[in-house]
Amino acid sequence: MIYLLFSILSSTAIFVLFKLFDKYNVNTLQAIVMNYITASLCGFLLYDQEINISKMLASTWFFAAIALGFLFISIFNVMALTAQKNGLSVASVASKMSVIIPVLFGILVYKESIGFQKITGILLALIAVYLTSVKPKNDVVLTKAIYLPIVLFLGSGIIDTSVNHFAPDGNMPLFLAIIFASAGIIGITVVGYKTTNKKHRLNRKSLPFGFALGVVNYGSMYFLLKALRVDGYESSSVFTINNVAIVAVSCLMGLLLFKELISKKNWLGILIALISIVLVTL
């Protein structure tokens, strides 16, 4: 459970850093690119074996990692567009509710256990995610660009499912390093193009914030994969607990650190989240 706890804390730290981006006027795209570079370096540094290029290219996971890097940065942009076109609440709910995809994959493909208590816990987790994510502001516009939250929902679910499915046990740090490196190369190309065309200037604040984001981003993925590899824990349970706990803890951090308003629905969501965690864990 310690790996799952570290994953939840790392993911919550990502939320805190994104909130600080607004406060300190950090260029989000530049910080995201720096984040991918840092996360990739973390993977290479933590990999304690010799990197064999030919062996790596012949592996079953290498090209999956390259594709996932492209998907990582693409879905991030979809998330930003969803927030702009449909509202923050829709973007948050769409990305978090996508946990149902890896959960169903674990049950249907990996033949993981399923029973009344577990189903109840998973359904309560989905309700908790929705109630905790919806904010008091009326920024929900479902009729405008309806395809965006659908793409975000599917993309986020596919990322979680694919990372778990393709991650090799012995080469996990290297696998994550390739994913982040792939995303970083695409991001560098985009930022370089925009900087060359003088559409954006390099924001120095992006470097330290991007570095911090990269460390916790790598940690969130690494510890989640480690939790998924612990004997006795099924992926459907781990994904459910991880996702609903991140939403609940992030909501509380918003209250404590940024004085965000938490509605009665949000509090109810946090309570239901705790109940769902107990049901799925036991």
pLDDT tens for each residue of 103-155: 999 999 999 998 999 999 999 999 998 888 877 655 555 555 678 889 999 99
| Confidence bin at 198 (pLDDT 50/70/90) | low
Question: The tokens of 18 are what?
Answer: 């994104």
pLDDT value of residue 147: 86
pLDDT value of residue 64: 95
pLDDT value of residue 255: 87
* Residue 166 Cα to chain centre, angstroms: 17
Query: pLDDT tens, 38-54?
Result: 999 999 999 988 888 89
Question: The tokens of 161 are what?
Answer: 């499912």
Calpha distance 36→264 (Å, rounded): 37
| Confidence bin at 170 (pLDDT 50/70/90) | confident
The answer to whether 164 touches 61, Cβ cutoff 8 Å, is no
Calpha distance 47→172 (Å, rounded): 8
Query: pLDDT tens, 245-281?
Result: 998 998 898 888 888 888 898 899 999 999 999 999 8
How far is residue 271 from each of residues 29, 122, 252, measured CA to CA in Å? 35, 14, 12
Question: The tokens of 146 are what?
Answer: 């309806």
Q: Please give the share of the chain, as a percent, with pLDDT higher than 70.
A: 94
